[in-house]
Amino acid sequence: MIHHHVYQVSNFLEHKKKLIDLIYKIPINPLERVKGEKISHQDYNLPKSMTREYARYFENNMCDEYAKEFCNFLNCKRINITGMWFQVYKKGDHHNLHSHPGTNFTNVFYLNLPNKEIKTKIFINNNEQFNIDVKEGDILTFPGYYAHCSPINTFNEDKIVIAFNTDSIF
């Protein structure tokens, strides 16, 4: 069973500021749901036809290396990205427990991670937390059916991620 894969983006620091600048070209779009869940800025619910320069930049500058490494790890021919969005968590923001049905893998690219305490929490086998060591510049990949959440950001610095779903082609 494949629990997870962690890929360190090469030359991450060269890309970080550019990606963050491109994310903030999208008008601020908070998401608030039940149980106090809040994400201060995201594009998940914006029209798919909207230009997302950060996504194009990510695909053109980082995706090929990631896909090659992950396909090598998984022994598959290729992967297809089936959705991509960003999330900015300001102090007090969090994302409730959820999963991504209908996709093979969920991916979290840690663009800005002020503290490892607020990394994605993943649960397997009915609430057993699966602890993974990640840092800024890492892409964490795990099965889409695993329940996961983003804990409350208790720090003054924003947590920023680019999330995307992938399907593997064998």
pTM: 0.96
pLDDT score of 3: 79
- Alpha-carbon separation of residue 23 from 4, 32, 53, 58, 155 (angstroms): 26, 19, 8, 11, 20
Rounded CA-CA distance 161/170 in Å is 28
Q: Across residues 116-142, what is the average pLDDT? A: 92
Reported as a pLDDT band with limits 50, 70 and 90, residue 86 is very high
The identity of residue 109, as a single letter, is: F
Q: Across residues 34-63, what is the average pLDDT? A: 95
Q: With a cut of 70, say whether residue 162 has pLDDT above it.
A: yes
Q: With a cut of 90, say whether residue 34 has pLDDT above it.
A: no
